[in-house]
Amino acid sequence: MAGFQDLLQFVFAGVTSGAIYALIALGFCVVHNTIGIVNFAQVDFVSLGGMFLFSGLYWSGLPMVVALPGAVAAVTVVGLAVERLGVRPARSQNHLVLIFLTIGISIILRGAMKLVWGKNRMAVPPLAGEEPFRIAGAAILPQAVAILIITALAIGLLVLFFRGTRLGLCMRAVASNQTAASVVGIPVGRVKAASFALAGGLGGLAGVLVTPITTLSYDVGVLLGLKGFAAAILGGFGSFPGAVLGGVVLGLLESLSAGYWSSAYKDVAAFVVLLLVLFVRPKGLLGK
């Protein structure tokens, strides 16, 4: 019985981490599908989400219900600014050049966060209470439940956005064929800006959800962002269902390897399995 409780505990922890990775992976996929590049500034959108949440709570004295959506909105604006001021003015539209450009933007954002918030580690209170729920003997924190519920709602809204709104349909059209979309009158430039804004919002949401269960610093999003990137590759880069599946699988691999092997090797185990999967299916689990 104790073994089953441990397994359940590891599964809960893995799915919680996987939900965070899925949000980050979705941000990578949104920009990739619209513009065709990997936006490495996505890792800093995660850090910014936590930083803006901290500022809203402690600098402005806002309640959590206001500070959290405010932080997500602020990172959405940063994502829009990254496209308008950093990517769009580029003279070259070569994908490799644009990828290196996002790496430079990432370094600038990290430096700006270090100047504004400093290098000290910070913390924010949990979104929910601290008394754990008991499910079949396993303990699950209210924070983890909040992460799963909010992530599920965000994914549901994202599906509705792409299927039921004009902007979402335009983004799908640009992702399918940018030239044809431009010919029929779709404002490709605005759609690209919207993709960065949406990626910023998804990264910011991941940041505000993960911050209460980890320490906060200007570079906290780097490792999380890389894991989100790995989740996107594992699921099939550019596939939204693949991003969600890849995030959950990666989270479970980390949690189970940490529980049954060693926490020191949880990252190694997850990335080794990622490589093995890509050897068999180079396009990922759901890639086409």
For the stretch 25-52, pLDDT in tens is 999 999 998 888 899 999 999 999 999 9
How far apart are alpha carbons 51 and 72 in whole angstroms?
Answer: 11
Of 181 and 197, more confident: 197
Structure tokens at 204: 């910011």
Question: Is 286 contained in some domain?
Answer: no
Task: Determine the pLDDT at residue 288.
Answer: 65
Task: Answer whether residue 14 is part of any domain.
Answer: yes
Q: Is 192 within a domain?
A: yes
* pLDDT of 209 above 90: yes
Task: Identify whether 160 is part of a domain.
Answer: yes
- Please name the residues in contact with 38: beta carbons below 8 A apart, sequence gap of 6 or more: 28, 31, 32, 99, 102, 229
- Structural domain contains residue 87: yes
Please give the residue that has the higher pLDDT: either 197 or 133.
197
Report the alpha-carbon distance of residue 27 to residue 92 in Å, rounded: 23
Give the mean model confidence (pLDDT) for residues 197-202: 95
Task: Report pLDDT for 215.
Answer: 84
Judge whether 37 lies within some domain.
yes
pLDDT in tens, 8-29: 888 898 999 999 999 999 999 9
In a domain, 119, yes or no: yes
Phi, psi values for residue 133, rounded to 5°: -85, 150
Tell me the pLDDT band of 263, cut-offs 50, 70 and 90.
confident
Half-sphere exposure of 227 (CA within 13 A, CB side): 27
Distance CA 103, CA 97 (A): 10
Cα–Cα distance list, 279 to 62, 234, 244, 276, 284 (Å) = 49, 11, 21, 5, 9
What pLDDT, on a 0 to 100 scale, did the predictor assign at position 265?
Answer: 73
4 pLDDT exceeds 90? no
pLDDT of residue 115 exceeding 80, the answer is yes
Stated as kind and residue range, the H or E segment containing 272 is helix 266-280
Residue 288 belongs to some domain of the structure:
no
Domain with residue 70: its CATH number is 1.10.3470
Looking at residue 171, its pLDDT comes to 87
Longest Cα–Cα distance in the chain: 63
User: Mean pLDDT, to the nearest integer, of 275-285?
Assistant: 82
Structural domain including 35 reads 1-280
Q: What is the CA radius of gyration of the chain?
A: 19
* Number of domain units in the chain: 1
Greater confidence, 266 or 199? 199
- pLDDT score, position 108: 95
Q: Which pLDDT score, from 0 to 100, does residue 2 have?
A: 53
83-108 mean pLDDT: 88
pLDDT at residue 46 in the model: 95
> Are 113 and 55 within 8 A, CB to CB?
no
* 248: pLDDT strictly greater than 90: yes
Q: What is the Cα–Cα distance from 25 to 82, expressed in whole angstroms? A: 18
Please give the average per-residue pLDDT across 93-109, as a whole number: 90
Tell me what the pLDDT averaged over the chain comes to.
88
DSSP state of 238: T
